[in-house]
Amino acid sequence: MRASRTTPILFVAAALLLPAAARAQEGTTPGAGAPFSVGDAYTSGAGEFTVEGVFGYERARGGREDFRPAPTLKYGLNDRLELSLGTDYGFGNGSGVNQGSIGPALTARLADQEGLLPTVSLSLGATVPYGPGHGGTGTSLVAATTWVTGEGPGSWGLHLNAGFLATLDPEPGERRTGWLAGAAVSHVVNPETVLVAAYSQQTQDEGDRDFSLVEAGFIRSISDSTSVGLTAGAGLNRDSPRLRLAAYLSYSFATGR
């Protein structure tokens, strides 16, 4: 598995070569989520807005390239419910060029970690595609679990995702139903930096092998409200990208509720 050779390099770079502009709180919790393909089970706090931006690059095995900005706005309706709206759009000469999608999601945190029982959340989402040759409207129901050993430097987290996918009005060649699954391990190396290694798999169009990706990178707090991240990954079959890179920026603020 070639991608695994990059993991030590990314971990060392994240821990040693990127000093923080400001120290985050000591109680940093191991997490996942954007820019990685595997999410954690946490939700935004009540009255908290989070603006996330991911800029992704993918290189297919045939040499075609896809550049994809993907902003997302999240809002904590209460301590356990989060509403989000995300969109993306493709540039370059890849299969998704001049195509994008937009859609909402509602995530409920159903249980908090207690002993060996993890934090659990359930997310219901929809995506409406647009652009020439776009496919049908997609829906998803995704469960996520997160179990951590604690908070602060030295703590670890395990994050698992499993979901059901359905296309309401599939175009020829699109699957009416599908699934996704993923797992990630996160590690807090200092109060500002969380390292993440992840694997994800998802069904694609009829005739294509499942999307299958391994990736590793970091998320780093540069202030109490701002985080950045980088990830690098590689696909494991001919229908997954040869290379995937993503940069991430997040800013959170409260409304005073």
Give the tens place of pLDDT for each residue, 85-101.
999 999 988 777 889 99
Residue type, 3: A
Mean pLDDT of 134-141: 91
- Token pair, residue 15, equals 């821990």
Q: Count the Cβ atoms, other than its own, within 10 Å of residue 202.
A: 18
pTM: predicted TM-score of the whole model, two decimal places: 0.86
Using the predicted structure, report yes or no on whether residue 7 has a pLDDT greater than 60. Answer: no
What is the rounded average pLDDT of the residues 14-42? 67
Contact (CB, 8 A) for 56 and 86: no
Average pLDDT over residues 210-222: 96
| pLDDT for 113 beyond 80 | yes
Q: Which residues, at least 6 apart from 12, have a Cβ–Cβ distance to it below 8 Å?
A: none
- Cα gap 249→252, rounded to integer Å: 10
Question: For all residues of the chain together, what is the average pLDDT?
Answer: 88
pLDDT band at 185 (very low <50, low <70, confident <90, very high): very high
Residue pair 99/133 in contact by the 8 Å Cβ criterion: yes
pLDDT at site 206: 82
d(CA 72, CA 124): 15
Give the mean model confidence (pLDDT) for residues 135-153. 95
Closest CA to 118 of 162, 82, 69: 162
pLDDT digits (tens, 9 = 90+) for 154-164: 999 999 999 99
Is the CATH number of domain 2-251 3.10.580.10?
A: no
Q: Quick one: pLDDT at residue 25?
A: 43
Q: Which two tokens stand for residue 241?
A: 């990208």
- The radius of gyration of the chain's CA atoms, rounded to the nearest angstrom, is 18
% of the chain surpassing 70 pLDDT: 89
- 19 pLDDT band (50/70/90 cuts)? very low
The pLDDT score that the predictor gives to residue 2 is: 38
Task: Note the pLDDT tens digit of each residue in 32-76.
Answer: 999 999 999 999 999 999 999 999 999 988 889 999 999 999 999
User: Strands, E, within the chain: which ranges?
Assistant: 48-59, 65-76, 81-89, 91-92, 100-111, 119-130, 138-148, 156-167, 177-190, 193-202, 211-221, 226-235, 243-254
Determine the Cα angle at 212 with ends 210 and 218, to 5°: 150
